[in-house]
C-alpha cells in the first residue's frame, strides 16, 4: 500500500502534481516561444533601458517606456521554477502595456541555487521598492505600481504584495495598487514535501516565512488569481484556496480560469490586449475593460 505524503497523494503523484511539464506536452515549445516573441518585440520597439536596483549584476530590470508621463508602471515577474528564464525572455508582453499607456518592467533576480529562496524574494521586493523611489526619474507614477507574475513568478508576486513595506523599507504599505497572480504556488508546504525540494531547499521555517497565504494581514491591494484549465489539480487547489483566503481577509479578489489553456500557454495571453491576462491587468490599471 502506498503511503500518503500530502493530502491523498503518495510521493510519485505529489511530484507529478508539482511538475507542470507532465501536464503540458508543448512545454518546451512554449518556453522557447517566450524568448522568440521577446526578441521580436525588442526588434520592433528597441532595446529596453537597463537599470540596477542592487549590488549584484543579477539585480537588474528592463524598462520599456511609454509615451505618456507620468504613467502607471506594470511590473512582470517571470516564472521558471525559481531557477530558469530572465527578463530577456519576458519582453513579450511589453507592447501591450506600452501602447496602452503604461511603462512595462521585467525584473531580473538571482535564481536558485545561486541564492536561497528567501534571498530571491527579498530581491524582488527590493526591485519594487526601487521602482517606487525612482519612478519620477523615468516618467513613472509611484502611486500607480501594479505587479503580475506567472508560475514561480506568481509566488514571488504574491510574496511581494504580502510584504510589510513599512517595516522592511520604510515605505507606505500600499505601494502596490493591484496584482495579477497566475498559475502560482501560495502555500509552500507541498513543495517542501515534493521532489522540487531537492533544489528549493525549504524547511518548516522558510515555508512559514515565504508562503503568501500565511501573511495576508499585510495585503493592501486587489488581487486577480488565475489558473489554466489544463493545469494540475494541486495548482488549481492552490489558486482556489489562495483566492478564498484573500476574500476572507476582506480584500477584493477575482478568481478566473483560462479555458483550454495549460500552464505555459496562459501567460502568452499577456501579449495581446485582447488576451485574457492582458484584459485583466489593463482593467486593474484603469487602461482597459476586463
Residue 1 belongs to a domain? no
* CATH at residue 214: 3.40.50.1820
| Cα gap 275→266, rounded to integer Å | 9
For all residues of the chain together, what is the average pLDDT?
96
* Strands, sheet with 140-150, edge to edge from the N-terminal-most edge strand: 49-52, 60-64, 103-107, 71-77, 140-150, 176-182, 223-230, 253-262
CA 178 to chain centre: 12
Residue 40 included in any domain: yes
Give the 3-state secondary structure percentages of the chain, helix then strand then coil, rounded to 5.
Answer: 45, 20, 35
Closest by CA to 154, choosing from 225, 249, 246, is 225
pTM of the model: 0.97
Q: Is residue 5 part of a domain?
A: no
> Which residue from 213, 218, 162 is spatially nearest to 184, judged by alpha carbons?
213
Q: pLDDT tens, 241-250?
A: 999 999 999 9
- The residues with which 9 forms a beta bridge, in sequence order, are 6
Distances (CA, A) of 189 to 14, 20, 61, 124: 12, 17, 30, 21
**33: which 3 cell numbers?**
516561444
Residue 93 is part of which domain span?
A: 11-284
Q: Which residues contact 217 (CB under 8 A, 6 or more apart)?
A: 249
Number of domains in the chain: 1
Tell me if 4 is assigned to some domain.
no
- Is residue 77 within 8 A of residue 126, CB to CB? The reply is no
Q: What is the mean pLDDT of residues 209-233?
A: 98
Q: Please indicate, yes or no, if residue 249 is contained in any of the structural domains.
A: yes
Q: Over the stretch 128-176, which tens digit does the pLDDT of each residue have?
A: 999 999 999 999 999 999 999 999 999 999 999 999 999 999 999 999 9
Does residue 79 sit within a domain?
yes
Is there a domain that residue 6 lies in? no
Q: Which of 249, 248, 270, 266 is nearest to 257 (CA)?
A: 266
**pLDDT per position as a tens digit, 168-209:** 999 999 999 999 999 999 999 999 999 999 999 999 999 999
Amino acid at each position: 500500500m502506498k503511503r500518503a505524503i500530502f493530502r491523498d497523494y503518495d510521493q510519485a503523484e505529489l511530484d507529478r502534481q508539482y511538475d507542470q511539464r507532465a501536464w503540458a506536452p508543448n512545454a518546451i515549445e512554449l518556453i522557447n516561444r517566450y524568448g522568440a516573441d521577446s526578441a521580436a518585440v525588442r526588434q520592433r520597439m528597441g532595446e529596453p533601458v537597463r537599470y540596477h536596483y542592487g549590488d549584484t549584476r543579477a539585480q537588474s530590470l528592463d524598462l520599456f517606456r511609454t509615451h505618456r508621463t507620468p504613467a502607471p508602471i506594470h511590473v512582470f515577474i517571470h516564472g521558471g521554477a525559481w531557477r530558469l528564464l530572465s527578463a530577456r525572455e519576458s519582453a513579450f508582453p511589453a507592447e501591450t502595456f506600452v501602447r496602452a499607456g503604461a511603462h512595462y518592467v521585467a525584473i531580473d533576480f538571482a535564481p536558485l541555487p545561486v541564492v536561497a529562496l528567501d534571498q530571491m524574494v527579498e530581491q524582488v521586493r527590493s526591485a519594487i521598492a526601487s521602482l517606487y523611489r525612482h519612478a519620477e526619474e523615468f516618467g513613472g507614477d509611484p502611486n500607480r505600481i501594479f505587479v503580475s507574475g506567472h508560475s514561480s513568478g506568481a509566488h514571488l508576486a504574491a510574496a511581494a504584495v504580502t510584504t510589510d513595506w513599512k517595516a522592511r523599507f520604510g515605505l507606505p504599505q500600499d505601494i502596490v495598487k493591484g496584482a495579477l497572480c497566475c498559475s502560482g504556488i501560495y502555500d509552500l508546504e507541498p513543495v517542501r514535501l515534493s521532489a522540487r525540494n531537492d533544489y528549493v531547499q525549504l524547511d518548516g521555517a522558510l515555508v512559514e516565512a515565504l508562503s503568501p497565504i500565511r501573511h495576508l494581514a499585510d495585503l493592501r491591494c486587489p488581487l486577480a488569481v488565475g489558473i489554466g484549465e489544463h493545469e494540475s489539480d494541486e495548482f488549481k487547489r492552490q489558486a482556489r484556496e489562495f483566492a478564498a483566503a484573500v476574500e476572507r481577509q476582506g480584500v477584493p479578489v477575482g478568481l478566473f480560469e483560462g479555458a483550454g489553456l495549460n500552464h505555459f500557454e496562459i501567460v502568452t495571453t499577456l501579449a495581446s490586449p485582447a488576451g485574457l491576462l492582458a484584459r485583466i491587468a489593463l482593467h486593474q490599471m484603469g487602461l482597459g475593460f476586463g
